[in-house]
Amino acid sequence: MAVPCSLSAKFKGSFAYFTVKDRLPQILTRVIDTVHRNKSKFLEEYGEEGMEAEKKAIAAFSKLRNELQTDKAVLLLTDPLPDTELWNQYLEYQQTLLSAEEQPSWFTSPWLYVECYMYRRIHEGIVLSPPICSFDVFKEGKDESFFQSQQAISALCTFFQELAKEIKDRSEEQVKEAFFKLLQVSLWGNKCDLSISSGEDNSQKCSPLNSLAALQPCILVDDSECLWSILSHSRKTSNCKESVTRIDVVLDNAGFELVTDLVLADFLLTSKLATEIHFHGKCIPWFVSDTTKSDFRWTIQQLRAANHRWMSKCGNNWDGNLKKQVWVYHDHLFWTLPYEFCEMAQVAPDLYTELQKSDLVLFKGDLNYRKLTGDRKWDFTVPFSQALNRFHPAPLCSIRTLKADIQVGLKSGQGEQLTSSEPTWMTSGKYGVIQFSALA
Ligand code: F6P
Ligand code: MG
């Protein structure tokens, strides 16, 4: 079994140095600034208590930033949330991996763990600062990124609605071509994540459809044909009224990426490649731009209210899909725990059972890829199904742009060649994969 990526190991590389020394503290600095800028809003809503809460939250985040920058010990959580116990047990487990004199600290613990832990501590800082405990410190950035992508969103909605009008008359080959296009739009939508840019604008400015052909060589593993064969098979057998084809989408970022996922989901229903779509989002604000229930609702509401015919048509249809329950939104606290997905069956058996009902699970984004593969230093040629380490609730596919230095399932020599020609290929977000696994 490959070893987990730890911060100390990563410190030796320039990317990790940048991540730890700059990116995470930068994110905390932005969080502090956001809370501070909302001071008058808190005053208006809660009076003096709101002012006190602002001070308390800022003090918690400043302390957290100091702990992180000076490699202090990882501390137990102290809030009363339902996952606190699980987080604290996880810390105790990390302790068992060290000698009695050592304590898990920010630089020496596995990167996946401490990065998740930082976001959970941010949430703790807010939860322990009543009455502002439901304030989403990342909301402004997520909304801004949605508004910055208006042109791309309107182009995508227009493309989709024109396609949807004629879908019944399209040949099998044309439906397949459209599916591949929308899958790729959803893949490249994953470039728009705000944690990689420390919260700076990273939105999609122009139509995503025009650049698909040029981006094709950047897809390092493209298993789109495998997805098509599963879905087209169900489409052919779907004449029977009772038959259900369920696709689950484990969402990643709000903003443009979420719109690309919703368009793909709409296409799957409209083209009868699926009959039900189940979305999985985060219970708490996470990795700056990840989708929460409130972001999901907000996005659909924004589209409904848009002053653009095709955008509002999309928004109204999506709202209708939720009402008809052909789209179902789920959240589960497992998605914001530090566990690798191979531990899901044990830690969250209810979620594992839910995913087992699916015909295909699509995992969006880089963090999901890290959790699927255990964030380990795998050789590039290790098969994806092996790196999943027996996590296999259903056939699954990762749709991800590369932002962390993990990649499996490449052809022999492919990774080495990229490393010598483009040293940052694993972390720049330029490359992507549509990587499928049918087997345990
Ligand atoms: O690159 C920084 C980072 O926080 C990674 O650790 C993480 O995998 C990624 O950003 C999040 O990306 P995504 O939104 O695609 O999951
Ligand atoms: Mg994300």
> In this structure, what CATH number is given to the domain that contains residue 275?
3.40.50.10880
User: What pLDDT, on a 0 to 100 scale, did the predictor assign at position 356?
Assistant: 97
Per-residue pLDDT at 19 exceeds 70: no
Segment 63-74, tens digit of pLDDT: 999 999 999 999
Q: Is the pLDDT reported for residue 55 higher than 80?
A: yes
385 Cβ inside 6 Å of ligand 1? no
Asked if 289 and 218 touch (Cβ cutoff 8 Å), the reply is no
Q: Is residue 28 part of a domain?
A: yes
| Residue 402, token pair as written in the block | 């590369």
Q: What is the pLDDT of residues 144-165, one digit of tens each?
A: 999 999 999 999 999 999 999 9
Angle at 48 between CA 43 and CA 51, to 5 degrees: 60
147, two tokens: 């508004």
Specify the pLDDT at position 423: 95
Structure tokens at 4: 């987990």
pLDDT of residue 144: 94
133 is a domain residue: no
Expressed in angstroms and rounded, the spacing between residue 274 Cα and the centre of ligand 1 is 29
> Has residue 215 been placed in a domain?
yes
Residue 139 lies in a domain: no
On whether both 73 and 170 belong to a single domain, the answer is no
Q: Say yes or no: 258 and 400 in one domain.
A: yes
- Nearest residue (by CA) to ligand 1, atom 2, is 196
Instruction: Please report whether residue 233 resides in a domain.
Output: yes
The verdict on 52 and 98 lying in the same domain is yes
pLDDT of 14 strictly over 50? no
Evaluate: CB of 375 within 6 angstroms of ligand 1: no
Query: Hey, which of 287, 376, 405, 426 would you mutate to test ligand 1's pocket, going by the most ligand atoms within 8 Å of its Cβ?
Result: 287
pLDDT at 9 > cutoff 50 = no
Q: DSSP class of residue 6?
A: B
Looking up residue 38, the CATH number of its domain turns out to be: 1.20.930.60
The count of other CB atoms within 10 Å of the CB of residue 204 is: 26
**Chain segment 291-319, per-residue pLDDT in tens:** 999 999 999 999 999 999 999 999 999 99
Distances (CA, A) of 129 to 39, 57, 245, 387: 13, 6, 44, 40
| The ligand 1 atom nearest the CA atom of 194 | 14
At 237-274, the pLDDT tens digits run 666 556 889 999 999 999 999 999 999 999 999 999 99
Domain span including residue 71? 7-127
Q: Does ligand 1 have an atom closer than 6 angstroms to the CB of 190? A: yes
287 lines ligand 1 (CB under 6 A): yes
Of 420, 341, 349, residue with least CA distance to 380: 420
Instruction: Say yes or no: 115 and 157 in one domain.
Output: no
Tell me how far the alpha carbon of residue 306 lies from the centroid of ligand 1, in angstroms.
30
How many domains would you assign to the chain? 2
Does the residue 156 lie in any domain? yes
Does ligand 1 lie within 6 Å of residue 193's CB atom?
A: yes
196 ligand 1 Cβ < 6 A: yes
Mutational pocket test of ligand 1: of 282, 364, 367, 372, the residue with most ligand atoms within 8 Å of the beta carbon: 367
| Residue 366 alpha carbon to ligand 1 centre in Å | 5
Q: What confidence category does residue 100 fall into, taking pLDDT thresholds of 50, 70 and 90?
A: confident
Considering the chain, what is the average pLDDT of its residues? 92
* Ligand 1 nearest-atom number relative to CA 365: 15
Among protein residues, the one with the nearest Cα to ligand 1's atom 8 is 367
Task: Give dist(CA 206, CA 378) in Å, integer.
Answer: 36
What is the spatial distance between Cα 223 and Cα 187, in angstroms, rounded to a whole number?
A: 12
